Amino acid sequence: MSTNRKRPSKRLQKEIKLRLVITAGPTREYFDTIRFISNPSTGRMGYAIADAAAKAGHRVTLVSGPVELAAPAGVKVIRVETAEEMLKASRRAFAGADAAIFCAAVSDYRPKKRADKKLPKQMMNRRIELAPTPDIAATLGRAKGRRVTIGFALEDHDGRAHAERKLVRKHCDAIILNDPGNVGSDRASAEFLVRGGEWQVWPRSTKPQMARRIIQSLQRLWAARTRVTKAE
Ligand code: C5P
């Protein structure tokens, strides 16, 4: 076996079976028992990645915010609502995992206070004080050891520059720069950057096709990390 950084063969890639954590969907950050801050993420990209990973033979734990999607076949789904819950469930799954793909649209802020009853309109403070939520990718990335992690960046301007900073800040091995037009759409276009590499422009494709491409890229990263390269 060679120890150089050649692409692993298709056969070797097929033999790679990983334990994966995938985060997906939005989070909800409540300020009383009913009302919350959230975003319109549908979770479709994360669920498509989980499905593609399971079909490729990987063992997948999908930590999902509230979405309208059914669990993909063969995937263990842990349903959560808040960023704190998502961090807790992801951390537990990550402890026994080889890799993670952070696809969730985690709310950046949460209300500082969560009332234990629905607040009557008259009693609602018209200013909601906010506190930052934990960054799941960055928190788990800091102590990831040899695990491979991939993040997403959704940007509407200076995408590559923002994504490059996120790649480093979140300790990811690679980042997918997502187009805002992909949200809620059947198709997706993206650019992909591996640490120390060059940007690759991925063609517009369906989300399942994009998901398969992401899983193949993850397998390549894993193979490079464990130095499984094509036997010449
Ligand atoms: O900072 P931003 O939200 O743009 O970063 C996007 C990436 O970080 C995605 O991979 C997302 O799932 C992840 N993220 C996270 N926890 C957060 C915010 C983002 O895991 N609180």
Phi, psi torsion values for 3, nearest 5 degrees: -110, 10
Mean pLDDT of 150-156: 94
Residue 7's pLDDT band, with cuts at 50, 70 and 90, is low
pLDDT at 9 over 50: yes
For the stretch 31-54, pLDDT in tens is 999 999 999 999 999 999 999 999
Whole-number percent of the chain with pLDDT over 70: 92
How much is the pTM?
0.92
Expressed in angstroms and rounded, the spacing between residue 108 Cα and the centre of ligand 1 is 8
Q: What is the CA radius of gyration of the chain?
A: 19
- Any idea what DSSP says for residue 51? H
> Is any atom of ligand 1 closer than 6 Å to the C-beta of 29?
no
Catalytic residue among 39, 125, 178, 182: 39
Q: Which residues contact residue 127 at a Cβ distance below 8 angstroms, ignoring those fewer than 6 apart?
A: none
The reply to whether ligand 1 has any atom less than 6 angstroms from the CB of 151 is yes
Q: HSE of 229 in the Cβ direction (CA atoms, 13 Å)?
A: 11
Residue nearest to atom 7 of ligand 1 (CA): 152
- CA 16 vs CA 36, 154, 185: distances in Å: 41, 29, 31
Tokens of 194: 């591996």
How far apart (Å, rounded) are the C-alpha atoms in residues 219 and 93? 19
Q: Any catalytic annotation for residue 182?
A: no
Q: How many CA atoms lie within 13 A of 142 on its CB side?
A: 6
How far apart CA 232 and CA 71 sit, in angstroms, is 41
Distance CA 191, CA 174 (A): 11
Most confident of 40-44, 115-119, 147-151: 147-151
- The secondary structure element, H or E, covering residue 191 is strand 187-194
23 lines ligand 1 (CB under 6 A): yes
The model's pLDDT over 201-220, given as tens digits with 9 standing for 90+, comes to 999 999 999 999 999 999 99
How remote is the CA of residue 185 from the centroid of ligand 1, in Å?
Answer: 20
